Structure 1
Amino acid sequence: MIPVLDRYLFRQATLAFLGSLLVLTGVVWITQALREFDVVTAQGQTLWTFFLVTGLALPSLALVVAPVALFGAIIFVLNRLNADSELPIMSSAGVTPWRLMRPLLVLAVMVAVLVGTLSTSAIPASLRQLRDIITQIRADVVVNILREGSFTSMGDGLTVHIRQRTQNNTLLGIFVEDKRDPNQIITYVAERGRVLENDAGTFLVLEQGSLQRKEAQSLDIPMVVFERYAFDLSPLADDGDSVITYKPRERYTAELLMPDPSDELYKAVPGRFRSELHERLASPLYPVAFMFIAFAILGRARTTRQSRATSVLAAITIAFVVRLIGYGATSLAGSSAAAVPLVYLVPIAAVVGSIFVILGGPRRLRLSWRSRRAQEGYA
């Protein structure tokens, strides 16, 4: 049977955590979504593709936001308990700091499991799928070349214009000017056409049109009328079947644990594989470290006359510095394998230091120092 106090504290902290997680993730998602809005506007994709692309980034956002949301939730709960005089009453009733911290630690462990699952499994899978979708969009000739209502210069002297694209992907009002050959300019005009992809390549099949060929050394411009004409677009299209090189962050954890020695990217930057692996494995330690930091500074009862603003600011500063040092350790691990233990020592040291504070270590040191000074004075 779970004690009432544990259920009460766990419920308060969980609700605050979920609220913070939703708000922070929503804010960060909106900023990312605005950056990716060109997937709909410039790239001609549907709203479904837009939400799919931005939705696949949510696990990465949650990985960053979850420890921060937990940290903010614990600070909020401890502050509210003290402001409502619940924390002093619990302390007066004999509730020890460890007893008070137990439900918060359970929540921190649950968040750590969530963060570990995201970092080792969900994020690599989502980022890999995101890379596949972006590659497919970039390889889509109809989207990137045949843009409705605009003259699109494809470089090397080729300009394409499509007046309209129907729902069944029929193209109307097609204009193509080909200046790739310096000795002649070919202009294609057709009433309609379609893009055809087969084993031979990608073709723009023009129907009911004409072509004009102007030679560089001739004033004549002969015209040829055709019923059907296949214009080869293969040189302009990215090879969608080409091998995609995934970045270390997009690799599965098993691929980081046992990288392929023949992998060109691994041979070029083995340190990035090492730092990414240990960053994933160490990330679940930070929710627990943040919980201990918040509790060490704000877990003791104080009178309502004592301002806790300084303590809140100190907790935020310490958590920020710990995470910043953690990123620095990860960067060092990418440069040298000898720095790998630092990736884990940073959050562990934060936990040990917080436990020292919770046990009253600083106060005992101050009393011991005063006692020695007093003894020296009497002597």
Structure 2
Amino acid sequence: MNLLERYVFRIALGAFLACLLGLTAVIWVTQALRELDLLTGKGQTILVFLTVTGLTLPALITVIAPVALFIATLYTLNKLNGDSELIVMSAAGMAPRSVMRPFMGLATLVVALTALMTLYLMPTSFQELRGLVTKIRADFVANLVREGQFTTLDQGVTFHYRERAGGALLGIFMQDKREAGRTVVYLAERGQTFELNGESFLVLEKGSIHRQQAAARDTSIVAFERYALDLSALTPEGGDVIYKPRERSTMQLVFMDPSDWLYQNAYGRVRAEIHDRLSAALYPLAMVLIAVAALGDPRTTRQGRGLAIVSAIVAVGAMRIAGFAATSAVVRTPWALVAVYGVPLAGAGLSLLVILGGARVRAAQDRLARLFGPVTLPRLPRLRRA
């Protein structure tokens, strides 16, 4: 890059970082407010609260970074034109591709950031979040429930213990009435929570399980010496842990085992997740080209730029909505893959046509001016008042 291009790049980079940090902070605060229940309702520390909310940042940055790049490009071009710098650059013979080069350099950095987030960091953060939620459930049983109190862990699940001895709970009672017409009661002399392979369990010792159906008068009783209760079963999502497509790494999705439950029953969701991650890197390029196509031409201060800015915002919004719709359609049919990649590529291609077409028009006007000279209009005589 030459001196002018580096100057434009610094302005655009500063605006991009300001937009990225500002938008991420605002949206992160709204997400954090939704997780305040970790502090107020589940007795967690501020460190756990920050960890849970921080694990959502990769997903936020993936969506915000292209938008921040678009806003930074609009701001930079509008500032250069408002200070007449864009006009001076054009009058000095600076080609449109030279004006576009610093923005494309910044877009390349954003593409790399978006690819890193979508292909690696975002699924990793979702996996960590799933494991942390499981630990929070264990802490909820061990720390929040008070001695001698009946505490509702979930709708239909009641937990009680008599006293605590060290890290163990004594005199445990738990009633599970989540399933309509069926009641399960766990009684144990002693219990303790522990973690195994990233999952939390409550191990009950010397107790019994009482099961009763609404239609039956008899109750089945099973005595046990040790019984491990999976704490994930205390939530509506209990049962075998099945990681969602967004919680799996890209390699796990691409090379999925055919015997996997998702592969057999919901492969459309897997296909949509794979191609959504791959196509996400195309949107920063398309957005920066739309901004350059709208505001890249130098204009005088009397020529309004409001309509161009609004047109660029509408174009970007329509492109992003079409991209979301295409990703949703891929779940049902693989033919929608054409639209998943075609939407951002079409936005980038049309913007390039506008940029290069405008450059050709200006070059033709310059050639005509050199051949025939400037065209001047005759002055009309002034009319005097009678």
Q: How does 1:69-80 map to 2 (within 5 A)?
A: 69-80=68-79
How far 1:342 sits from its partner (Å)?
1.5
Residue 255 of structure 1: aligned partner: 252
Does the 8 A contact of 1:112 with 1:285 survive in 2? yes
Q: How many residues align?
A: 330
Q: How does 1:9-20 map to 2 (within 5 A)?
A: 9-20=8-19
> CA-to-partner distance for each residue in 1:229-253, whole Å, 9 max, x for gaps?
x998855844799853110011111
Q: How does 1:44-123 map to 2 (within 5 A)?
A: 44-123=43-122
1:202 and 2:199 correspond: no
Residue 208 of structure 1: aligned partner: none
Does the 8 A contact of 2:202 with 2:231 survive in 1? no
- Change over 3 Å in CA distance of 1:276–1:148 after alignment to 2: farther
How far 1:151 sits from its partner (Å)?
3.6
Distance, in Å, in 1 between the alignment partners of 2:130 and 2:193 is 25
Distance, in Å, in 2 between the alignment partners of 1:273 and 1:187 is 42
TM-score between both structures, scaled by the size of structure 1: 0.76
1:137 and 2:100 correspond: no
Letter in 1 for 2:112: V
How far 1:336 sits from its partner (Å)?
0.9
Distance, in Å, in 2 between the alignment partners of 1:179 and 1:303 is 75
How far 1:153 sits from its partner (Å)?
3.6
Residue 357 of structure 2: aligned partner: 360
Letter in 2 for 1:347: P
How far 1:178 sits from its partner (Å)?
7.2
Does the 8 A contact of 1:292 with 1:354 survive in 2? yes
RMSD: 3.7
Distance, in Å, in 2 between the alignment partners of 1:143 and 1:268 is 37
Distance, in Å, in 2 between the alignment partners of 1:333 and 1:40 is 39
Distance, in Å, in 2 between the alignment partners of 1:317 and 1:279 is 22
- What is the SS of the residue equivalent to 2:301? coil
1:328 and 2:329 correspond: no
How far 1:259 sits from its partner (Å)?
1.3
TM-score between both structures, scaled by the size of structure 2: 0.75
Residue 278 of structure 2: aligned partner: 281
Does the 8 A contact of 1:13 with 1:77 survive in 2? yes
Q: How does 1:14-29 map to 2 (within 5 A)?
A: 14-29=13-28
1:302 and 2:299 correspond: yes
- Change over 3 Å in CA distance of 1:60–1:79 after alignment to 2: same
Residue 374 of structure 2: aligned partner: none
- Change over 3 Å in CA distance of 1:356–1:169 after alignment to 2: same
1:246 and 2:247 correspond: no
Residue 39 of structure 1: aligned partner: 38
Letter in 1 for 2:290: I
How far 1:360 sits from its partner (Å)?
2.5
Distance, in Å, in 2 between the alignment partners of 1:302 and 1:140 is 62
- What is the SS of the residue equivalent to 1:360? helix
- What is the SS of the residue equivalent to 1:95? coil
Letter in 1 for 2:250: T
Structure 1 gap segments, 5+ residues each: 206-229, 368-379
> CA-to-partner distance for each residue in 1:279-317, whole Å, 9 max, x for gaps?
100100000000000000001111111221111111111
> CA-to-partner distance for each residue in 1:7-27, whole Å, 9 max, x for gaps?
101111001000100000001
Q: How does 1:153-168 map to 2 (within 5 A)?
A: 153=152, 160=160
Distance, in Å, in 1 between the alignment partners of 2:186 and 2:241 is 35
> CA-to-partner distance for each residue in 1:222-273, whole Å, 9 max, x for gaps?
xxxxxxxx99885584479985311001111111212110001221110010
Structure 2 gap segments, 5+ residues each: 177-184, 207-223, 365-386
Most deviating of 88-97 and 73-82:
88-97
